Structure 1
Amino acid sequence: MSAEKNVLISGTSSGLGRAAAVAFARKGWRVYAGMRDTTQGTGLLDEAGPVADRITVVQLDLLSQDSIHKAVEFVLGDCGDRLDLLLNNAGSAASGFFEVQPDADFRSVMETNFFGTCALTREVLPAMRERRSGRVMTVTSVAAYAASPALSAYVASKRALQGWMESLAVETRLFGISVAVVEPGTYRTAIWENAKRTEGGPDSPYERLHERFEDSARRLVEVSGREPEVGAKAIVALADRKRIPFRNPVGLDARWFFRPLGVVPFRLRARMIGRFSGVGAE
């Protein structure tokens, strides 16, 4: 059996997941690139170029338990049950102030980001436990500890992932399984372009605030957003380490938001976030 390391990554059709798949392959890993629509795999393999032979595209839809089971069954069979790393990266977003946001949109974000990630992880744990080796890394977000107006569903899903991963780390440590979270800051990905938007209509008290928020968010990405390849390199560097911390803020803005926790009162943090997001006091 090959000594190369194997990684399964969810959400590799674009953005950080796609960049991570290429970065892992370039570092010598065997990459199983999970994506809902495998026709997007052509772009990934083209980008990988000379290391494309290290990448296997796998159909993986986190909203389908059958898809999850078949994907993991294939990956474990192909790598001889030696999956060294699961990188939970897939996610979705919906933009809208909570009062006027449809419940279906809120639940959709939670189903993909939280419950789908939990389901995928549950499928790989038995093989890792039996080998008493393996690592689960989950990409959360700076949003896990930085409140954001109009993104409460996304923030809730990422904070839920943090709490779940903390508990999972305690449960699995005696079986040789390492658990960690990666908390990226702002990157230029398509997640916000693909997000469902709810403004509430002209009679909504939130419409103007939503417009101001989106203007502020666009400026933030333009000014401080980094290319996904930068974050991907940081993730691969962490994965190659023998031991890594549980929490791993990636990017200056992520570290900036992380430091005030437990130090700066929430009232002050909320005021600062409101000002930066364009929905502070008139």
Structure 2
Amino acid sequence: VKRGVIRIVTPGTDLSSGESDGSNNYIAAIYKDKKSYGLAFADVSTGDFYTTETSDMSKVIDEVQKYDPSEFIYNSAFSDEQPDFISDETAKKKLCSEADRSYFLQENAEDVLKRHFKVYSTAALGLDGTPASLIASGALTAYLLDTQMNDLSHMNEIHPYSIGRYLVIDHSTYRNLELTETMREKEKRGSLLWVLDHTKTAMGARKLKNMMEHPLLDVAEINGRLDAIDELSASMVDREEIREYLSGIYDLLRLLMKFSYKSANPRDLLAFKDSIKPLGP
């Protein structure tokens, strides 16, 4: 029997974390240069990948609060500048590691992103003009490829976003409003999310949480979302039919991850078959 290391499991790459309740388990990369911070957040169990950049450390803290990653990697400049942040996150039992400087070289970051996402230029990923975001994303991608030891084919899309596109909710306000968890018990039950979450799929539950954590500012986008809600609200028959179809759908993103890791079992294959059956031939 051939023996060897096939995958390195870390808190941020634990595939079983969040499987019972459908929640995300993010790993974060933070890159600090002279003027700004690049942030990248990925969940290898679902393929979600988000990135942004800011010049304000307080906004870094706010974004970390929203994604609540269980592991951080960062460059030496960030480590030197923010020892208190690292100490605070370590105290919360988060794994914090200064990664090798080669991960944070711009040339290496661009190369790994172009190879993994199969694009000719990082501009195709929406990373043109955001060098700190690009480097953080490249460093995180390289780290995941090195530790997971497979091609991570299910992670096929990256979502750059501007913090200014969303209403900024600072750390204290986020906690006091109990948007996604209660202050005392740190549980979903009793929070605003618990009241609103009547989703039928794990994917929908994660989407709703993400929308609550990133309130829109653009009036046209807000009205578009409200129009969609109004249409579904006005058509009870269609709404209930959609909910019935969705109730039989498993967590497709996590199933695709298992296919990518070649760890799917017969039960997973049956779940995938049942999930795509409503789509028809």
TM-score scaled by length of structure 1:
0.28
More strand per residue: 1
TM-score scaled by length of structure 2:
0.28
